[in-house]
Amino acid sequence: MAAQYCCNQPMLQPTTTNTILPDELIDDILLRLPVRSLLRFKSVCKSWKTLITHPKFANIHLRSSTAAEDTSMANKQLIFLTKIEPYVILTYHLKQLFENPSTCAEPVISSFLKMKKYGIYGSCNGLLCLFDRSQCRLKLFNPSIRVKSKKSPQVFPPLDWTMRYYGFGYDQINDKYKFLVVLKDYDNGETLTKIYTFGEDSCKTIQNFPCNFICF
């Protein structure tokens, strides 16, 4: 004998002309979309634009797209910066490269004024760290949304230093992106270590940075 069970869930119609999904389910789907689709869907309505452009959404999207379980490679890209005319950034989507290895891949091309002066000196969380060697200035560029930062002040004076080591990364504790560079003056053997923090425009010198130089 079946017991009567009182269910508080609203009754769905068995055949709906258009099933409406609750917001939290829509959010779950949106977080799985690649950046390019999300940029387009900002135009769906105002609340979607607010959601998609919110930094919290971007953070969750980044974390889920870089998670180990994500095998879709929907957001993984291979990026080149050309060193000859035209000076552009070429973005290849890894998913296409792996799924169709025998077809010629079409890159997405992005460019901005004075791109010729820059080289790619690191990438982290989808951001490219660009460095202008002649002026020793840094710039961040996000090829997925094609937004670039202003150029930084001079990171170090362009004297006769060699950039021995450099690295670009994200400081999780302070929520800041940083660029570290170890400079060596081969004439007198001096080294100088600088760390630049984006957003703060601050450049600190680090004393006694441990760096073992291998002499060839």
In the complex, minimum distance from the CB of residue 147 to other proteins, in angstroms, rounded to a whole number: 10
Stretch in the footprint of other proteins (CB under 8 A) among 26-34, 84-92, 134-142, 160-168 = 26-34
Give the count of residues interacting with other proteins (CB under 8 A): 39
Q: Does 208 bind other proteins (CB under 8 A)?
A: no
Cα 113 to Cα 131: distance, rounded to the nearest angstrom: 14
Q: Does 53 bind other proteins (CB under 8 A)?
A: no
Q: Which of 151, 147, 148, 112 is nearest to 131 (CA)?
A: 151
* C-beta of residue 160 within 8 angstroms of C-beta of residue 150: no
Cα 25 to Cα 9: distance, rounded to the nearest angstrom: 16
Q: Which two tokens stand for residue 195?
A: 């760390």
Terminal Cα-to-Cα distance of the chain (whole angstroms): 87
Q: Does 3 bind other proteins (CB under 8 A)?
A: yes
- Helix, coil or strand: residue 184: strand
Q: Does 105 bind other proteins (CB under 8 A)?
A: no
In the complex, minimum distance from the CB of residue 19 to other proteins, in angstroms, rounded to a whole number: 5
Provide the binding-site residues for other proteins, judged by CB under 8 A: 1-3, 5, 7, 9-12, 14, 16, 18-21, 25-26, 28-30, 32-34, 36-37, 39-46, 48-49, 72, 74, 108, 146
